[in-house]
Amino acid sequence: MKLKKVIDATIPVDYMFRHGSLKIDCNYFIKAIDKGVVAPDNINYSTNVKGLMTSWNYFNKDDKFIETILPLFDYLDNQPEIKKYYLESAWGIKEGFTHYTRLHDHIPNYISGIIYLNSHSQVLLFPQLKEKIIPEKGDCILFSSFLKHKTLRNTTKINKYAIAFNLKEDIKKS
Question: What are the phi and psi torsion angles at 51 (to 5°)?
Answer: -170, -155
Neighbours of 138 (CB within 10 A): 16
- Per DSSP bridges, beta strands 131-133 and 124-126 are antiparallel
With a threshold of 0.75, does the pTM exceed it? yes
What is the pLDDT tens value at each position of the chain, 174 positions in all? Answer: 888 888 888 888 999 999 999 999 999 999 999 999 999 999 999 999 999 999 999 999 999 999 999 999 999 999 999 999 999 999 999 999 999 999 999 999 999 999 999 999 999 999 999 999 999 999 999 999 999 999 999 999 999 999 999 999 998 755
CATH 2.60.40.1180 matches 17-169:
no
Peptide bond into 127 cis (omega under 30): no
Longest dimension (CA), the chain: 63
